[in-house]
Structures are given as structure tokens and as C-alpha cells.
Structure 1
Amino acid sequence: MKTTIHIYHTNDFHSHFENWPRIHQFLQERRAWHEEAGEEVFIFDIGDHVDRSHPLTEGTLGQANVERLNETGYDAVTIGNNEGITLPHEGLDLLYEQAAFPVVVANLFDQDGSRPKWALPSFVFELNNGLKLGITGVTAYYSAFYKGLGWEISEPFNELQTQVQQLTKQADLVVALSHLGMYDDEKIAQDVPGVDVVLGGHTHHLFHEGKLVNGKLLGAAGKFGYYVGHIQLEVDLETKSIVSKKARVYQTSEELDAPLQEQESIQQFYERGRQALQQRVVSLPRPFSCHWFEASELPQLLCEALTEWCEADGAFLNAGVVLDGLDAGVVTKYDLHRILPHPINPCLIELTGAELKEVLRQTFDKKWPHLAIKGFGFRGKVMGQFVYDKLEVDPIHYHFKIDGQEIEADKRYRLATLDMFTFGHFFQPLYRATHKKYFMPEFLRDVMEWKLLQLTSYTK
């Protein structure tokens, strides 16, 4: 006798609530459909459901995301880096307080080595037909960032090996929820015996019909809720072995029906977030301008604030990181979130003068201002021109000064900038630098708030 198990999965939703009404309706309908047919059905999320760039997520520190997962009937989730390292320690500790599902993440620990009270290394579901489905989850290994927030994160493959070995003794089928990325998912399939299915995320990859690696089925549903994944396993109940397995995805905009009052629901998500962020911050005596391709006040103000916040010798950033200016009058948390929605942290980097000059020379490359940036925490449109504080740059004659003095090649300097510039693909000296300090959990909007408060007489 055979039975069919259906697994629906999402990953890297990043608080794109404009796609949620269709996903919610689809998953609820599918669960009812399968259960009526006597088939087992599970719904899993593979992390980065939370993204603080949306005001609803920011205003509730992600707890509105957990409400959505509860309402839809998710059976289990793992965490991504957006849950793990963009929330303060206490924010993550409270995030799943009302969760109606297990949070499975095997490689996250408190600093004393214990597991968080809300996290399980694995979980076993007992099916009505006697089968047992075991799951474990792992998340990306951003050691320095987790440590800066008061967590310890272990190397995911070692934890995964341990959990799968235990699960194979307890369960008939094993599914890994992997927020590690496509290439690591393939490595899991190759190197971790006992795993039957790997559901992936983090690198926003999409497998339209799954991918078979070493006989293991990999599933991934892209990003932003553009797709929902579906794994179908046919299992022989006598041998408790998988007879066939297949995967597909459903495109949200084309294959999922629009629920009634879809646009009203989407607007309500946004409006609830806006209302949650109405706390007054400052009252500005005049407007502050922002332009991406010419000198303007707010990007310059933020750059100066970075120097002070990080206690640096100087700073630089790209003007495109500030999305808009501020009007005169009351500025709220919502206003600061609107102009600086990025989950980007300040970063202090120690460089030699030679390295600093090379980085500054590169900032004058003509490719930068109109370059569209994707990922790295950036939630804007284009890079914009670079803005400097206490740094003078003449790339034509190769003259560089810091605080009015010529930069000396062998001297060491403290540069403040955005953490995204240390992640590669931008400036290699920043990527390779061994002395870096990430300021966490503060984002750029927190630094801007701090600076604006210095400029005004209003105190909270």
C-alpha cells in the first residue's frame, strides 16, 4: 500500500506582503484539499520571512510575520539571517513567543552554549498512517554578526550531520530545512547520508521542478513570495521507503487566485506598520535635502554621523543609501524608516594608508552613481555618488587627505562606512581587512536619529 505526502514550502519572503494574500489563500485551500483526500500535508518556511524594510515588520519587530505564519497554518520554520542578525537579541528571543509551530534551527546557541528556549534542533511528526517525518534546520554561518548580538552560531554541516544521524533512528523520512544557499544544499545531498529532501533558501535560487543530486530531491522557491514550492512524495507503507518524488513551483502572480479584497489587505499591512511607527523623534526647523547625484544635506549629515558614531578618522558612504529628504516639522520613526529602510549596520575598518587611498580612488569610478545594487542589505534603487567626511580626494593627481593631512601609506587609519561594502564585489581592501567592527543592532536610521537629535532642541 502506498501513501502520498505533500510538502509546500516558501523561502526568502522578505516581508513582501503584497504577495501574502494569494499565498495564504492558496496554502489554506491546498491543505483542505489534501486532507479531504486523506493525504498528509505539511507547510514549511525556510527563513528570511522577516525583513525590516517593510514598516509592518519594523513596527512589530517581525511578530506580525509570525501572525501571518500562524494564520496560514505553517507546520515548522527555520530562521534566516534576516531573523537572526537584523533583530536585536531580545527581539529574536521574543519573535516566536506566540508561534503555533516549531522553530527548527540546529546551529544557534546562547552565549552560554545552551539552546534558545524557542529553538529546537529537530522535530518528528507522527503521521496518521504510522509513518514518521523528521525535520532539522540550519542557518547561514555569519559568526561575527551573531556574536555581536550575543549569540553563538556553530558550523552548520557538523550540526546537520549530528541531527540527521539521530533522526534516521527516530523517523522514516528526513527533510532538511537549509538556509545556507544552493551550493551548500547540493553539498548536503552529497555529504549527509540519511537526508531524503533538502528545502533551500538564502541565495534566492529557484528550482522549477526540483533538482536531483545523489538521489536526494532539492526544492527551492526563489524569493519575495514570487513562487510557492510543492514537494510530492509517494511512500510504500510496508517498506517505509520513498517510491517516487517530484517537485514543482507555482507562480504567485499567474497561478494563484486573487482573494477578495486583495488590495485592501495589502494596504492594511502597510497602514498597520505606518501606525506602529508614529512615535515622534524630532522636530526639524527646516527641510533637509537629499540628492543621489549631487551634493546634498542628508547624505552628508549621515556620513558625518558615521564618523562620530564609530569614533573614526573619517567616513564615506553612497548617497543612494538615503532614499529621500525630510520636510520641516515633526519627524517620526516612520519617516526615518521610509528614507533609510535598509538592514545595514555601521562598520569601522582599520586600513593602511595605501589601502585607504586605493579604496578612495575606486570610489571615483564612473560606474558607481547609476549602478543598481541588489542584496547586501541595500533596499534602494541606485548607488548614487559617494559622500565623504574628513576625507579629501583628488584621484587625478592621486592626492588624498584625511582631516587636512596627507594620508601616509604605512600609517593605519580608522574608516567608518556601511557594512555592505565589506561583503565583497565592491572594494577588495575592505573585504580583505582583518580588523573590522560591526555596530549592532543599530541600523543607519538609528544613527541618523541620533544625529538629528544632536541638531535639535527636542528630546524624547
Structure 2
Amino acid sequence: MKKTLTIIHTNDLHGNYEQLLRQSAYIKNRISELKAQNESYLLLDGGDHLDMSINECLATNGDMHLDMLADVGYHAMSVGNNELLRSTPALIRELSLKSKVPWLLLNLVENDGNIIGGMKESLLVTLTNDVKVGLFGATDQFGNVYENKHDFRNRDTVTSIKKTVADLKQKGADIIVFLSHLGYDADVKIAKEVSGLVDVIVGAHTHTVLESPVEESGVIIVQAGSYGQYVGELRLILDIENSSNKIEGYEGNLSEIKLESDIDPSMEAILEKGRMETNEFLSEVLTVKDTPLLHKDVIQLMAEAVRDHWNAEIGLMYGGAAVAGLQSGNVTKGDVLNICKSMHSPVLIELKGEQILGLIKDSYKEEVSSKLVYGNGFRPHGIPIGSLAFSGINWDYQDGVLSNVTVNRERLKEEKVYKIGTGTPMLYDEVCGYSSVKGNKLLDVGKTEMVKDVFISFLKKTNRELNPV
């Protein structure tokens, strides 16, 4: 007996609330249509629904997003890097425990091997037509980033998938759906390794717009762009009695969500409540400035902030850490967060004096400072890395000649190793474009805060020192 299943899928919202208001209205309407036709469906999200660079998400600690996901009625979601990388381990555990929508993740666990918080390795869903769907999720591990930053432990992705699929099939799963936050190229590659085990990959992470499904090695791959611009739909025709090929046919498409589309009133109410909390959160006064701060002044203060944070010899900050300056008068948390969108961790590194000289020289070169950077936590994408600001270093620079370089009033020594507080982009020359950072030694990384958090704390600290109670 043939049966049908419609998979409705979204991914990589990144807190685009204006689109979400319309996307959720579309999804709810489409689900109503399917129910009226007695059609079975699954509603799935590929992760990066949260985005801590968005004020509402940050101010509500992601709780607003849990309400949003539950309100739409998702069956499950994969766990993206924005659910993981931009949150503390404690918050990750808390959110996954509170979420009414299961968070699926099998290739990252606690250091002791236990599941993180309330996450699940897999999920078996029995639909209204009695089809049993096995679900699991995996995320881009970014090498050993989560092991270093959160003290989590990586699991081999393919090995974990094979083990989980075997378990799901033993429990009676008719078809297997993989919620992947690995990216499209990785999905195509992994499809070849899990052929015959996985039926469908619902993708995410690379924001790939797949107008129609792609089939690789018998595995159907779909992905619905990003930022709430699309809703994906994959309709499967199933012959669950056929042990060799249970998917007899399929068709899929993306529906574009336009600004003139209808708005979901219940989602609008959730957003309004979140924005009220956000306004209170953002209104906190950090300090008072008599004169405006130019962009370069902000970057200089950020260099001083990371130096102070690590008690380092030198502070170093890149122009792309902020997008503008600050007005005079009260400087609020909202003012800082509106110009510091990037989500970089503070790091303590070691560089030799000769490397520092190279950084100073390169900072004067437009071809270096104008490098556009994407990903790696930069917001907005495509912002120039910018010139560097240093704290603890002084020098003379005239007609392209660098001289009289001192570190804390002592002459810089080229072979001496210096401790430098900065942000994660300066760990990688291929990211920041400053070749002199190659060969740096990472000493420590901020595991519970970002560079902008360090800057906010610094402003509050210096304000207290200038204005003691």
C-alpha cells in the first residue's frame, strides 16, 4: 500500500523576525491544508534559528526563539553553530532542556560522553498514516573548536550516523531523515557514505537555495536558503513494504516568502513581548561621554579592553570589530551592541616582536586593511577587517618608515615573545589577512563571553573608576 509524506522544512533564520512573521503564517496555512486533505507531514528546521548577534535573541537569552519554534509546531530541529558557538555551555544545556521542540545532535557530546543538556541523538516519529520516521541531527564541528571552547567532545559523524540508523531501524523506522547542519558540500559528500542507510537529508548552514531536490547516491538532499526567505516542501511517495527502496517517487520545491505576505498574529505577539524585554535590557547606561567617539576611538578602547581583560602586555583590535562610533552623552548597552555585531571570543596569544612590527606596518597598507571578511562570526558579512589599534605600544611612522617602537615604554625586542589580548580572527592569517599572525601561539580563549562583552564590562569598569560612588 502506497502512502505519502510531506516534509516542510526551514533553516538558518538567524533572527530575521520580519520574515519569520510571514514565514510562520505560510507554514501554518500550509499545514492546515495538509490536515484538511488527511495528508501526513513533518515540520523540520535545520538550525541557526537563534542568532545572538540579534538584540532580541541576546536580551531574552534565546527563550523567545523557543517560544517561536513551539508556536509554529516543529517536530524537531537540528542544532546549528549559532545555537552552540555563540552561547555558553550552561545556556546551551538550559535551552535544550527547556525547548518543547527536540534538539537533535549526535556528533557532539559532553566531555564525559553524555548527551548535552536536553538534546537527543535521534527521534522516532509515528505519523497519522502510521509511517514511522527516524530522525537525527549533526552539526559542523569546526575542527576542535567546541572541544576547546566548551569542553565538549567530538564524535565521528559517519560512525555515529551508522550506529544511530541501525538503532532507529531496529525500533521500526520506515524511512530515515537526517537533519544536517554540515553544509551543502558536506551533505553531498556524506550522502555517498550513508547511501542505503539515509533516505533524506534536510540541509542547512551554507544557506544554499535548492529550488528542487538533489539526489546523490540514492539520498534526496534539500535546503531552503536562509533568513526566512523560503519554505521548502518535499513530498514523498512511499512503499513501506518494499525493503529495498521505500521511496517510490518524490517532488520538491521552495515557496518564496514575500514582504507583502500575511503576518502571523500569534508570532507577532511573541515578538512584541520579546521586544519589550529587549528595550529594558538595552537601556542600561554603561558610561557617559562628554564628546562623541569616532570609529577609530571605539576600536582603540576595544584594544584597551582586551588588554585589561587578559592583563596582557599588549591589546590588539581590528577595525571590523565595530561598524561606527558612539555619540556623546549616555552610552547604553544598546548603543554598543548596535555597533558591535560581530561574535568573536576574546583570546590571549603570543607573538614575537618581529611579528608585531609586521602587524603595525601592514596596518598602514590599504590592500590589507580593506580585506573583506565573511563568516567566522563577522557581522555584517563582508565588512573590511580594517586597520589595527594597539594598546601598550607606541611608535613613530613617517614616509613609510617605522621607528622608535616601544612596549610599555621599553624598546620592542624582535626576538622577545609578548602576550597579546585580541579577538579570534587574529588567530588565523587566512581570516584576518594580516600574514604576521601566522605562527602565533594560543594561550587562552574566553569561553563564556565575546569581545563585545569584554568591551561592555570595560566601559562599566572605567566609568566606576572615574565616578566612584
Give the TM-score normalised by structure 1.
Answer: 0.89
Give the Å deviation of 1:329: 4.4
Q: Take 2:413 and 2:61, find their aligned partners in 1: how far apart are those partners?
A: 45
Aligned to 1:89: 89
Query: 2:303 is matched by which residue type in structure 1?
Result: C
> Does the CA-based 8 Å contact 2:289-2:331 persist in structure 1?
no
1:418 aligns to 2:419 (yes or no): no
Aligned to 1:138: 138
Change (3 A) 1:112 1:211: same
Q: Take 2:85 and 2:264, find their aligned partners in 1: how far apart are those partners?
A: 36
Change (3 A) 1:413 1:268: same
- The superposition leaves residues 355-384 of structure 1 with CA deviations (integer Å, 9 ceiling, x where unpaired) of 444444433331355555332212144444
Aligned to 2:188: 186
Query: 1:158 is matched by which residue type in structure 2?
Result: T
Aligned to 2:251: 246
- Select which of 170, 174, 191 maps to 1:172: 174
- Select which of 426, 436, 442 maps to 1:435: 442
Aligned to 2:351: 351
**Secondary structure of the equivalent of 1:253?**
coil
Higher mean C-alpha displacement, 416-425 vs 227-236: 416-425
Change (3 A) 1:266 1:234: same
Superposition pairs for residues 23-422 of structure 1, below 5 Å?
23-142=23-142, 143-170=144-171, 171-193=173-195, 194-239=197-242, 241-253=246-258, 257-259=261-263, 268=272, 271-272=275-276, 274-278=278-282, 280-291=284-295, 296-368=296-368, 371-380=371-380, 381-392=383-394, 394=397, 396-397=400-401, 401-403=405-407, 404-405=409-410, 407-422=412-427
> Does the CA-based 8 Å contact 1:357-1:400 persist in structure 2?
no
Give the Å deviation of 1:55: 1.3
Query: 1:425 is matched by which residue type in structure 2?
Result: V
> Does the CA-based 8 Å contact 1:17-1:269 persist in structure 2?
no
Change (3 A) 1:174 1:402: farther
Change (3 A) 1:164 1:341: same
> Does the CA-based 8 Å contact 2:97-2:117 persist in structure 1?
no
User: Percent identity at matched positions?
Assistant: 24
Structure 1 stretches (4+) deviating beyond 6 angstroms? 260-267
Give the Å deviation of 1:37: 1.0
Higher mean C-alpha displacement, 46-55 vs 158-167: 158-167
Query: 2:36 is matched by which residue type in structure 1?
Result: E
Change (3 A) 1:263 1:168: closer
- The superposition leaves residues 393-419 of structure 1 with CA deviations (integer Å, 9 ceiling, x where unpaired) of 659336583515554443322232221
Give the Å deviation of 1:126: 1.2
Give the TM-score normalised by structure 2.
Answer: 0.87
Change (3 A) 1:85 1:387: same
**Secondary structure of the equivalent of 1:367?**
helix
Change (3 A) 1:390 1:271: same
Q: Take 2:207 and 2:468, find their aligned partners in 1: how far apart are those partners?
A: 42
Change (3 A) 1:334 1:238: same
Change (3 A) 1:267 1:373: farther
- Select which of 435, 445, 458 maps to 2:452: 445
Change (3 A) 1:237 1:321: same
Change (3 A) 1:301 1:182: same
Q: Take 2:100 and 2:334, find their aligned partners in 1: how far apart are those partners?
A: 30
Give the Å deviation of 1:68: 0.5
Higher mean C-alpha displacement, 120-129 vs 281-290: 281-290
Give the Å deviation of 1:15: 0.8
Change (3 A) 1:329 1:283: farther
**Secondary structure of the equivalent of 1:316?**
strand
Q: Take 1:311 and 1:161, find their aligned partners in 2: how far apart are those partners?
A: 47
> Does the CA-based 8 Å contact 2:10-2:231 persist in structure 1?
yes
Q: Take 2:460 and 2:65, find their aligned partners in 1: how far apart are those partners?
A: 31
> Does the CA-based 8 Å contact 2:68-2:267 persist in structure 1?
no
Give the Å deviation of 1:168: 3.1
> Does the CA-based 8 Å contact 1:282-1:459 persist in structure 2?
no
Structure 2: 5+ residue runs without aligned partners? Answer: none
> Does the CA-based 8 Å contact 1:453-1:459 persist in structure 2?
no
Higher mean C-alpha displacement, 347-356 vs 124-133: 347-356
Q: Take 2:264 and 2:48, find their aligned partners in 1: how far apart are those partners?
A: 27
> Does the CA-based 8 Å contact 1:277-1:332 persist in structure 2?
no
> Does the CA-based 8 Å contact 1:288-1:297 persist in structure 2?
no
Query: 1:414 is matched by which residue type in structure 2?
Result: K
Query: 2:349 is matched by which residue type in structure 1?
Result: I
Q: How many residues align?
A: 455
Change (3 A) 1:160 1:459: farther
**Secondary structure of the equivalent of 1:22?**
helix
